[in-house]
Structures are given as structure tokens and as C-alpha cells.
Structure 1
């Protein structure tokens, strides 16, 4: 009986691992790639245009333990920025931001006041168990990542307000 219980627990764990590995909601169609200029991130933040300065933007790719993590960050000259973190990315496709306990993709919009940096505001996604947005990677090579994104972020530093980040795109070299 004890051996049967152990076998069942092992089977349940194996099923959970398989479900977790496939629940990142990747779709093979990464979309058109958007219209961001090389080395930048573009988006609409609550309807207003955001465009990062190429000198204040970067992308990194880390491969460890058979998994790839991509971070794309872009800041403008006024202290606003967007950060996308994609864990477990394995190529082009569509990746959900959030959607349960397995959070492998996240996004943030940040506003920093240079005269009072401690009052920075961050709108983070996901902020609960629902899907808060999507990142679509249309080009992914050893030296470049291109794609689009949209998300709803919740202010984690203050009033719990939300911001809609739409029509986002990035075009970054590693």
C-alpha cells in the first residue's frame, strides 16, 4: 500500500511538472514585431506615447540550466521606463503575462521623479492570478529580440491604481 501511495505521489508530481512546463501559454505565432526603432521600446501608457532613448535601453539574455531568461528595459529622458522579464522563453511566439501561480513572464512601467527618487511609482503585471497581458516575440536570435506587448499594471508603491500599456513594441540587440 505504501509503495502504491509513493507511486501515485510521484505520478501526480510528474503530471504537475508537465502541466507547469506547458502552462506558460506559448503560441507559435509571434506576430508582426511592431514598429519600435532599433534599440528602443515604444508603447502607449494610459493613451500617451512612450518611446525609450536608445542610450538608456538594453536587453540581456541569460541561458542557465536549460532555460533562457530575457530582460528588455527601456527608459526615456524624463525618468519613465518599461521593463519586460521573460523566463523560460524558447523562441518566437506569444507568452502570457501572469495567469496563475506559475509566473514566468512579468512587465513593469516605472515613473521616477529625479528631484524625489524615493517617491518612484511602479505599475506591475501580473498583480493577481489573472492574465494581465501578453508579450509576442516575432524574432529571436542569439543577438536580437523583436516583438510586441500589452499589459495592465497595478501601482504597487502607492494608490493601487492601474495603467493600461498598449501598442507596445521592442527591437533590441543583446
Structure 2
């Protein structure tokens, strides 16, 4: 009987950990330092700041997915997708087979003399089954989404290099599509 109680306790504990690992109810780390309409971050120590005109937050699939896309004039982009979005809180990037949230960083080198020779390198997260970052939504209104993020990404299709994206923040207008 004591063994049965211990097994039930273990199952309940593991269930609780599993259910709470997908999203925490804290309100993130504040809005960070992004200007209105932009995404900012440090990419391996170099500053990234998106342009207002090329940055967006879209709530899709009846509000179940949040997609953020941000680019700048240097050919750099940061994107992330939260599957199973449910509002303010912290969402892991990676962390097992049941975590579908993803992020990426890319660099495009445009050859102005011959655009067909342009190249794009993409660093993806997650790149294995461990948690490699998180996205925290600290404030969501009818028209805006504000939060912070950090992740480590790997160039899985290229040289296998790893980039660390840290001190990320966003303050974006929100579009809703169904």
C-alpha cells in the first residue's frame, strides 16, 4: 500500500511539472527597452534593432498562435512563433517533444551587382530536445503585445555555428487574423 501511495504521488508530481512547464503565469520581465513598433536584441554581443515598418505581431488560428517577425535594413531578421498561445506569461523555446514554440535569427547578404548570388544563413531554435530560450509576454492589449525574449540558435543547414540572442525585447502593434 505504501508503494502504491508513492507511485501515485510520483505520477501526480510529474503531471504537475508537465502541465506547468508549458507556460508560467508570471507577467514576464517587463517590456524591456524596445521602442514602440520595434524588436531589439543582442546577437552574440552585437546590437539588433528592427524597423517599425518591417516588424509585426500577428495573432492567428483563432488566437492560438502568436507570430512575431522583425527585420532591419542590414538584412537581419528575428522571428518566433508561440503555438498554443494563451496571453501574458512565459513560453519556453524547446524543451521536449511536446513544446512547439520556435525562434530563428537570419542574415541575408545581398549582392547588389548580381542579386542571384545573394545568400541567407538561418540559425534555428530549438535545434535539439532541450530548452534553449524563452519568450515572455508582459503586456497584451487589444492592439499591442509587449515582452522580452532570449534564445540560442544553431545554423543547422550551414556551418553548424551557434548564436546567442539575448536581452531581446519587443513592443509591437498586434494584428488578429483567423
What band does the TM-score fall into relative to the shorter chain?
0.7 to 0.9
1:52-67 alignment, distance < 5 Å: 52-64=50-62
**Distance in 1 (alpha carbons) for counterparts of 2:117 and 2:22:** 35
Q: Does the 8 Å CA contact 1:20/1:102 hold for their aligned counterparts?
A: no
**Distance in 2 (alpha carbons) for counterparts of 1:27 and 1:132:** 20
**Distance in 2 (alpha carbons) for counterparts of 1:104 and 1:164:** 20
2:94 counterpart residue number: 98
Shift of 1:54: 0.7
Shift of 1:117: 6.3
Q: Does the 8 Å CA contact 1:100/1:129 hold for their aligned counterparts?
A: yes
- Structural RMSD (CA): 2.2
**Distance in 2 (alpha carbons) for counterparts of 1:158 and 1:29:** 36
Aligned length: 157
1:34 counterpart residue number: 32
**Distance in 2 (alpha carbons) for counterparts of 1:117 and 1:43:** 28
**Distance in 2 (alpha carbons) for counterparts of 1:144 and 1:121:** 30
SS in 2 for 1:137: strand
SS in 2 for 1:139: strand
2:157 counterpart residue number: 157
**Distance in 2 (alpha carbons) for counterparts of 1:117 and 1:138:** 41
2:64 counterpart residue number: 68
Shift of 1:166: 0.3
**Distance in 2 (alpha carbons) for counterparts of 1:84 and 1:108:** 6
Shift of 1:18: 9.6
Q: What are the ranges of 5 or more consecutive residues in structure 1 without an aligned counterpart?
A: 1-16
Q: Does the 8 Å CA contact 1:121/1:156 hold for their aligned counterparts?
A: no
**Distance in 1 (alpha carbons) for counterparts of 2:169 and 2:143:** 17
1:125-164 alignment, distance < 5 Å: 125-164=125-164
Aligned residue among 52, 62, 74 for 1:78: 74
Q: What are the ranges of 5 or more consecutive residues in structure 2 without an aligned counterpart?
A: 1-14
